[in-house]
Amino acid sequence: MQVILHTGAHFTDEDRILKCLLRNADDWRSEGISIPGPSRYRNLLSDAINRLANETPADDVREIMLDAILEEDLENVDRLILSNENFFSVPKLMFAGGRAYRKAETRLQTFAKIFKGDEIELFMGLRDPASFLPAAYQGTPHTNFLDFMAGVDPQQFRWSDLIRRIRADVPEMPVTVWCNEDTPIIWGEVLRSLAGIELNRKITGAFDMFSLIVSKEGMKRFRGFLKENPTINEMQKRRVMMAILDKYADDEAIEEELDLPGWTEEMVDQLTAAYDADIDVIADIPGVTLISP
C-alpha cells in the first residue's frame, strides 16, 4: 500500500489541501484511494508516535492503526492519504531546541516503523521566511520573537537544512515539495500528485486557490476560456492563469503584511533572495521532487 503523508508546513495551505481532497474522496474511492477525515487519525497517530518513539512496534500495530483509520476494507485500499500540519510540531515549538522541527526525522522514522512494508511518501509546502516567520510567530502564544526563534537566526534559516535531515535519516521516503507562493498556479498538480492520478484529469477544486487571488471578472474570463478550449493541457492553462493574474489580480488578497519590530525592507529582500536560492538547492537534493509552475 502507498501511504502519503502531507505535513504542512504550518501557515501554508492551512488545511485547504485536505478539504479539497475530501471533496474528491467519493469519486476516487473506487480506485483504491482513501482520504479519511482528520478526526480518524490525527490524535491517534500522534499518540502512537509519541508512545513508540524509542520502541519497536508490535507486529499488529499497523493493522490496529489501519482498522481505526480506514472507513473502507483494507483490501480495497491501494493509496492512503494523511494530512497533518502539526505532525512535526505545534507552531509554538517549531524552533524549540534551536532548529526547525527538530523532531521531524525521528517522528518520520517511527511513522515508517508503524507502516513497515508500505511505500511512504512525504509531501510538504514551503514558504518564504520573510512572510513565514512573522506569520508563524503571530500564530503562537509567544510575546517575544527571539523566544519563539529559540536561538535560530532568521537570516540563516533554510528549508534545505530540514529536507537534508529528512533525506539522510529516512532515505527510503521520497519527498515532494512546492512553494506556497506558487500554489494558486500549481494547486491542481499538487492535489493530483497527492492522489497519484493523471496530471490532466478533471478534479473538483483545481482552481480554488487561484480564485482567491483574482477578481470575479478575472475568474469569469478564465472559466470562459476553459469552456471554449476544453482540450488545452496543464501547462497551457498555467500560461493563461498567469496572463489573467497579470491583469485581474486582487491586490488586497496577494499583499502580505510583515510587521516585526526591527525588520527592514532590506532584510526582507535578503530573506526572499536566500529563499529563492534555497529552493534551487532543494530541487537538486536526491530523492526530492519540486513541483513548480
Longest Cα–Cα distance of the chain, Å, equals 58
Residue type, 144: N
- Helix (H) / strand (E) element for 119: namely strand 119-126
Domain that holds residue 72: 2-213+250-291
Count of CB atoms situated within 10 Å of the CB of 84: 18
pLDDT at 293 over 80: yes
Helix boundaries (H) for 157-214: 159-169, 183-195, 208-211
243: cis peptide before it, omega within 30°?
Answer: no
pLDDT at 125 over 70: yes
Residue 98 resides in a domain = yes
**Can you tell me which residue has the cell 493509496?**
79
Residue 182 resides in a domain = yes
How far is the C-alpha of 182 from the C-alpha of 60, rounded, in Å? 41
What would the pLDDT profile of 44-93 be if each residue is shown by its tens digit? 999 999 999 888 899 999 999 999 999 999 999 999 999 999 999 999 99
- What cell does 66 get? 489501519
- Over residues 269-278, the mean pLDDT reads 97
CB-neighbour burial class of residue 157 (10 A; exposed 0-12, middle 13-18, buried 19+): buried
pLDDT at 157 over 70: yes
Residue 219 resides in a domain = no
CA distances to 36, 116, 214, 254, 260 from 251, rounded to whole Å, are: 36, 47, 8, 5, 22
- Over residues 177-195, the mean pLDDT reads 97
CATH of residue 134: 3.40.50
Residue 237 resides in a domain = no
Domain count, the chain: 1
Residue 67 resides in a domain = yes
| Contact between residue 81 and residue 4 where contact means Cβ atoms under 8 Å apart | yes
Alpha-carbon Rg for the chain in angstroms: 20
Q: What is the pTM of this model?
A: 0.95
Count of CB atoms situated within 10 Å of the CB of 59: 8
Residue 281 resides in a domain = yes
- Over residues 137-159, the mean pLDDT reads 96
Residue count of the chain, please give it. Answer: 293
Residue 245 resides in a domain = no
| Contact between residue 119 and residue 3 where contact means Cβ atoms under 8 Å apart | yes
Residue 240 resides in a domain = no
